[in-house]
Amino acid sequence: MIKTVKKIGIFKENLRISIRAIRSNKVRTVLTICIIAFGIMALVGILTAIDSIKNSITNQFTMMGANSFSITSRGMNIQIMNNKYRAKNFSRISYRESMEFKDRFNEGAWVAVSVVASRGATVKYKSEETNPTVTLQGVDENHLTVAGYEIESGRNFTTEDIEMTRHFVLIGSDIVKDLFATGNDPIGQVITVAGMKLKIAGVLKSKGSGIGNPDRICFMPVTTARQYFSQPNQSFNIAVMPMNPVNLDVMAGEAEAVFRIVRNLNPRDESDFNISKSDNIVKLLIENLKYVTLAATLIGIVTLVGAAVGLMNIMLVSVTERTREIGVRKAIGANLLQ
């Protein structure tokens, strides 16, 4: 009992000495706390930022339709050092082929046909005008579902809009902010997109910041884009999204077989088109992020080492200053525990 009371008294005395030392060296105490806090915060912050980037990429592709795949024209390029050589040109995907595939593919899936009309379009409404950074894309009635867009106001394109080549447009939320800042209802208004007058049929819900700025986009009927923005060797994109949960690899194989028939390929011919699943793109981007993660981790470790060196210097100064005090205490009879 006596030993326990003595130990408690020694602990209280050591605690009082520690608090007195902290109060007498406030600057040193603050520096020590900052070194520990910022050193750990730097490493944890960097690793958290990397995880946030991974989650952001995954969420962006999920909103774009994670359970989907696309069929695009295939090209082959060979790069040696800084020199690029085109080894082979494959046929483009024509509008006829894309629509024939859409008619033939009956596997319980949405099939969307699209084409990029302009990547740097300017949108005008009366005296208001956007920067030439708007993407104008020709789409069909299934594109919004496959691409993960939703209608905030107005309506989507109908089959009749596509067949009749109507001059309608769906606009992103950023374009609404630029052209209708006064709060006017954009539905039914006529705007000029890339020099062409189009009537606003619907406004898209915001998808937030992401790859390619998805809120800075305009959709027009694919037939209208084909008629007014036709280019030599224009190639169309086909996107497929199952209506019900299925094995995406099996459906992609079925789509490849159907499109080979559309392209009139012989059984011995290799497929002259690409089938890309959206989750493969996510995996590729995350795989490339491992190098960023490695570099960021090394930077964090260097930061911790620097903080540790600074902390050891402060500890060395503190111990050196306490050497004389400890010697005086022992000289007047203090034991090692005091």
Reported as a single tens digit per residue, the pLDDT across 309-338 is 777 777 777 777 677 767 777 777 666 554
pLDDT, residue 80, reads 44
Report the distance separating Cα 123 and Cα 136, nearest Å: 10
pLDDT value of residue 233: 80
Query: Rounded distance, CA 21 to CA 90, Å?
Result: 78
Please count the residues of the chain: 338
pLDDT of 148: 84
What would the DSSP string read from start to end of 215-283?
A: TSEEEEEHHHHHHHS--TT---EEEEEESS---HHHHHHHHHHHHHHHTT--TTSPPSEEEEEHHHHHH
Q: Any idea where the domains of the chain sit in the sequence?
A: 2-61+287-331, 91-271
What is the model's pLDDT at position 292? 73
- Whether residue 94 contacts residue 81, with contact meaning beta carbons closer than 8 Å, is answered with no
The list of the chain residues with pLDDT below 50 reads 65, 76-81, 84-88, 338
User: Token pair of 306, please?
Assistant: 């620097």
Q: Which amino acid is at 301?
A: I
pLDDT at 221: 96
* pLDDT for the residue 231: 83
Question: What is the reported pTM?
Answer: 0.64
Q: Taking the CA atoms of 163, 164, 167 and 168 in sequence, report the sign of the dihedral they define.
A: negative
Residue 161: both structure tokens together: 């809009």
What DSSP string runs through 298-331?
HHHHHHHHHHHHHHHHHHHHHHHHHHHHHHHHHH
Cα distances (Å, whole numbers) of residue 89 to 52, 239, 256: 39, 22, 19
- To which H or E segment does residue 139 belong? strand 134-139
Tokens found for residue 186: 């954009």
